[in-house]
Structure 1
Amino acid sequence: MSPELYSRSHLDTIPPPYNGPLSPLDKSAFKKSLPVLAVRVPAAQTATILHSEATRKYLLGLPKVKPVVGDPSAPDGDRLVLLGVSDQADLSPESLKVLKDAGNGFTDYNLTLDYDYWTASEILQAILPESLRKGAPVGFAATGHIAHVNLNDEYLPFKNTIGQLFLDKNKTIKTVVNKLDNIDTQFRFFQMEVIAGEPNLIVEHHESECRFTFDFSRVYWNSRLHTEHDRIVQLLQPGEVLADVFAGVGPFAIPAAKKGCAVVANDLNPWSYKYLSQNIKDNDVSDEVRAFCEDGRIFIRDVFKKVLDAPFPAYTGPKLSKTALRKLQKEAMRNPGGKPSPPKESLPPRKRISHIVMNLPDTAILFLDAFRGVLATQELQELYPTMPMIHCHCFTRELEQEQAEVDIKKRVEKKLGRPVQDDVAIRKVRSVAPGKEMYCISFRLPLEVAYNA
């Protein structure tokens, strides 16, 4: 047989058939012995074999299995280099010569695989009824120490076993939850049940160099939206003001503040507001973020006047760490004649909102009519020679990009009562479910809408 045909796949590493209980699993039943060929090698010669072009393709290449082990018959003597073949006849002449020259002979070795070797997905294939194996869950979304899955009805009888498998195979996971079909109708977070591990749903999650704490069972959070959070924040310039209508616990607001933006953040869910306020404090952005707990429609109507009446202090550059501040102070003492920075009082305060994000894709478009007349007063109109950008997330049932864009734009313009023409961009965020896509439409608020009292 040609050497190119050899790979780890010719070894039968499939878990053994399982006939034991499902809850709890009999982990001792997952054992398999694989006879492989090994070569005895002095410790000083192992590198020669491991790096030789002639022998490298024949090394045992199984994940989580080291190709070099101690020789059980001589613990203080040679090492055993494990090969992915069971007979010398399977080796090429070139590799056989290198192994004989560098080693001290061949021996048979029984490699034992156990429960720790196989992945959760592989063990599920061994324990589930054959009819359920094809669509079995293969992974989860992680939020802090919590793994969350969405199990179809046919897998619910096995939910605790599935949860325990994910717990066993992922050392950073302490709790596994299954999201239920029920959604809180007012605040739009998923109800869930703990199927394995600790009943602790208070999460500490790190994203974009920020720390977020929240009760996963009472607020909405989706780690798969990390890229979208980051994309929106990258659109912002330091010194701008962002209005976050449906802020949640702060995945847009906190990173934006870290970047140097001022943020007016709102969420109607009192639990989201609670943890948003905590995250503002924990991330040391209390001067940059103001939190509110209001209905989104009321917030939109009032936020422009809020920022006008209580403007944010002027942006004076990136916020420095305590270490950096001490360094600057020392340099100023050494160089008292250096050019001073302009005093903070001489820079204008920030009264104007540049961007508005509306991340409530199920209903955000329905709130767009609240923008009618938000700049009806002359005082506000003079402050906005350029209208702010709106970034509105939404769902659509249209699967083709072109049809999706037509659908979204039509719905947006219907709620605004005017066409959107300036700086319009429609971007697909992710596929949520079969026949359901999430998009973000960004557009400049039409002047006619903002002025219409």
Structure 2
Amino acid sequence: MLLTIDTSPPAARWMKDSLDRSAFHRTIPVVAARLSAVKMGSVLKAEVMRGLIINLPKVRTVVTDPEYPDSETKLILLRVQHEVDLTAASRSYLESQNASLTTYNIELDYNYWTADEILHAILPEELLDGSPTGFSMMGHLAHLNLNDEYLPYKHIIGQVILDKNKRLRTVVNKLDSIDTQFRFFKMELLAGEPNYVVEHSESDCRFKFDFSRVYWNSRLQTEHARLVNMFQPDEVVADVFAGVGPFALPAAKKGCAVLANDLNPESYKYLAMNVKNNKVSDRVRASCEDGREFIRHAATRLAADPMPGFLGPSLSQSQRRVLSQQQYPTSQPPPRQRIAHFVMNLPDSAITFLDAFRGILASSSSSSSPSSKSAIDLAVLYDVMPMVHCHCFTRESEREAAERDILHRVEQRLGCVLSAENEVGLHLVRSVAPNKEMYCISFRLPHATAFEELPPSEPIPQ
């Protein structure tokens, strides 16, 4: 017979505006066997007692005898609340061990129950199935995405989550509204201190940023790693919407040279800080400008002012010197002048920036660039066209329909049709919401697009 004891917290469905921890208390009387301490081990292991010993989380099986605290006797707590529930065999065995039966009160309070158990005792019954105890965590901060029906209980939810996770100091709720220019989510404080500057580790890199002023999504960690794994250590990566560096820093640690750009001044500030803190300053050039301008001039700027050659992954200065002598005994490795990858992680609007690639390697583009003094022939330098990795959303849930939708929008902006030679690949990143999927389309930039000659009077289409 399976013996169970109800340890659920008392219902407190009257709570709404504030959390009353004192309301969560429960006394559970159980049968206990009083025994000499020397007999405890054999009784606990006895086959006849199997299933009768209490096994509640955070409740000790053997406790001090409250009636005789200074004696050599101890109490074994049993999984029954009435003596009549003991089997005849177990009762006979305990008598043979000179055990006496008594009642012991287990006292449970707010600290005993989990966040989910507490919220199940507070929330209306019709809301229990979706109890919002899940959250994403960055350093000391947790953020939730509460559905509308839970908003009346948001501060209680936040406080319970704060109480039950000792590493947390701040709990926030993401709001639906976002900053229209810099695309970070607005949020409200639910519990704890209003400290939004967090430190977060990912891919052997340490990131610091103000979560209330920049964009960061922990659900994209797998996507960050997937793309970085595609880069070769000696390549140059241009990160158009770099944020605080989730693609740029791991790529630089791998050995890549990175041109990292973001329009948000706060993102740029923390990007530069993270580059320095992760000791990849010699591999990352950070900038703060519009994504279109960055795309238009990245190739000519790099050609005129190359990045240092590849010396291996992140190493100490002495290790780099040794590696340099081994690989390039008489000269330094050749500088890096050609962009191999463009990363465009702004799924809401990245596709609309693709027309900025039109003419970026053409003579008209070179002559209008601030770095046109470079004598580098871009047609020779770019004998292999860069790969473009563009994140985007689609409302199409079926794979084939999603591919048609994304490809159509991409080709419209590029001004040409993508073919097999463009090595087109489509990767489903994640489902964001019902009928809203996030994809990454990767393709080799068409030669016709990059070298398109646009009349000087004709601006690139917006």
Whether the 8 Å contact between 2:13 and 2:121 is mirrored in structure 1 is: no
Shift of 1:99: 7.0
Whether the 8 Å contact between 1:30 and 1:115 is mirrored in structure 2 is: yes
Change (3 A) 1:353 1:117: same
Secondary structure in 2 matching 1:239? coil
Shift of 1:132: 3.3
1:413 aligns with 411
**In structure 2, which of residues 206, 223, 227 is the aligned counterpart of residue 228 of structure 1?**
223
1:373 aligns with 359
Whether the 8 Å contact between 1:55 and 1:99 is mirrored in structure 2 is: no
1:387 aligns with 385
Alignment-mate amino acid for residue 266 of structure 2: W
Secondary structure in 2 matching 1:185? coil
Alignment-mate amino acid for residue 437 of structure 2: E
Q: Using the alignment, how far apart are the partners of 1:234 and 1:277 within structure 2?
A: 23
Secondary structure in 2 matching 1:182? strand
Unmatched 5+ stretches in structure 1: 333-338
Secondary structure in 2 matching 1:218? coil
Whether the 8 Å contact between 1:268 and 1:294 is mirrored in structure 2 is: yes
Shift of 1:47: 5.9
1:13 aligns with 7
TM-score for the superposition, normalised by structure 1? 0.86
Shift of 1:385: 2.6
1:433 aligns with 433
**In structure 2, which of residues 324, 328, 346 is the aligned counterpart of residue 342 of structure 1?**
328
**In structure 2, which of residues 133, 136, 141 is the aligned counterpart of residue 138 of structure 1?**
133
- What do residues 249-294 of structure 1 show as CA deviations (whole Å, max 9, x unaligned)? 1111111111111110000111111111111111111111100111
Secondary structure in 2 matching 1:298? helix
Whether the 8 Å contact between 1:420 and 1:443 is mirrored in structure 2 is: no
Whether the 8 Å contact between 1:397 and 1:435 is mirrored in structure 2 is: yes
Shift of 1:65: 3.1
**In structure 1, which of residues 241, 246, 249 is the aligned counterpart of residue 244 of structure 2?**
249
The question of 1:293 aligning with 2:288 is answered yes
Alignment-mate amino acid for residue 435 of structure 2: G
**In structure 2, which of residues 46, 49, 57 is the aligned counterpart of residue 63 of structure 1?**
57
Whether the 8 Å contact between 2:25 and 2:107 is mirrored in structure 1 is: yes
2:459 aligns with none
TM-score for the superposition, normalised by structure 2? 0.85
Secondary structure in 1 matching 2:441? strand
Whether the 8 Å contact between 1:11 and 1:84 is mirrored in structure 2 is: yes
Q: Which moved more, 1:172-181 or 1:43-52?
A: 43-52
1:354 aligns with 340
Alignment map for 1:255-334 (pairs within 5 Å): 255-321=250-316, 325=319
The question of 1:115 aligning with 2:114 is answered no
Shift of 1:113: 1.6
Shift of 1:192: 1.3
Secondary structure in 2 matching 1:176? strand
Alignment-mate amino acid for residue 168 of structure 2: I
Secondary structure in 2 matching 1:111? strand
Q: Using the alignment, how far apart are the partners of 1:51 and 1:353 within structure 2?
A: 69
Alignment-mate amino acid for residue 139 of structure 1: G
Whether the 8 Å contact between 1:388 and 1:445 is mirrored in structure 2 is: yes
Alignment-mate amino acid for residue 371 of structure 1: F
Change (3 A) 1:268 1:42: farther
Q: Using the alignment, how far apart are the partners of 2:91 and 2:385 within structure 1?
A: 75
- What do residues 190-221 of structure 1 show as CA deviations (whole Å, max 9, x unaligned)? 11111211111112222222121111111111
Whether the 8 Å contact between 1:210 and 1:255 is mirrored in structure 2 is: yes
Secondary structure in 2 matching 1:134? helix
Secondary structure in 2 matching 1:212? strand
Change (3 A) 1:307 1:30: same
Shift of 1:86: 3.5
Q: Using the alignment, how far apart are the partners of 1:307 and 1:48 within structure 2?
A: 77
Q: Using the alignment, how far apart are the partners of 1:103 and 1:213 within structure 2?
A: 63
Whether the 8 Å contact between 1:418 and 1:449 is mirrored in structure 2 is: no
Q: Using the alignment, how far apart are the partners of 2:93 and 2:160 within structure 1?
A: 43
Q: Using the alignment, how far apart are the partners of 2:43 and 2:398 within structure 1?
A: 54
Shift of 1:394: 0.9
Alignment-mate amino acid for residue 419 of structure 1: L
Shift of 1:344: 7.7
Q: Using the alignment, how far apart are the partners of 1:203 and 1:356 within structure 2?
A: 28
Shift of 1:178: 1.6
Alignment map for 1:74-85 (pairs within 5 Å): 74-75=68-69, 77-85=72-80
Secondary structure in 2 matching 1:243? strand
The question of 1:443 aligning with 2:437 is answered no
Shift of 1:153: 2.8
Alignment-mate amino acid for residue 449 of structure 1: T
Change (3 A) 1:273 1:105: same
Unmatched 5+ stretches in structure 2: 364-375, 454-462
Q: Using the alignment, how far apart are the partners of 1:98 and 1:402 within structure 2?
A: 70
- What do residues 116-142 of structure 1 show as CA deviations (whole Å, max 9, x unaligned)? 112222222222233433334222211
Shift of 1:381: 2.2
- What do residues 338-362 of structure 1 show as CA deviations (whole Å, max 9, x unaligned)? x855348332111121222111000
Secondary structure in 1 matching 2:339? coil
Whether the 8 Å contact between 1:141 and 1:149 is mirrored in structure 2 is: yes
Q: CA RMSD in A?
A: 3.0
- What do residues 46-82 of structure 1 show as CA deviations (whole Å, max 9, x unaligned)? 6666677775655433333343433333445344443
Secondary structure in 1 matching 2:401? helix
Q: Using the alignment, how far apart are the partners of 1:100 and 1:405 within structure 2?
A: 75
Shift of 1:225: 1.3
Alignment map for 1:109-188 (pairs within 5 Å): 109-188=104-183
Q: Using the alignment, how far apart are the partners of 2:11 and 2:272 within structure 1?
A: 52
Whether the 8 Å contact between 1:314 and 1:344 is mirrored in structure 2 is: no
Secondary structure in 2 matching 1:452? coil
Q: Using the alignment, how far apart are the partners of 1:51 and 1:364 within structure 2?
A: 65
Change (3 A) 1:103 1:396: farther
Q: Using the alignment, how far apart are the partners of 1:350 and 1:173 within structure 2?
A: 43
Q: Using the alignment, how far apart are the partners of 1:191 and 1:435 within structure 2?
A: 23
Change (3 A) 1:68 1:355: farther
Secondary structure in 1 matching 2:234? coil
1:396 aligns with 394
Shift of 1:364: 0.7
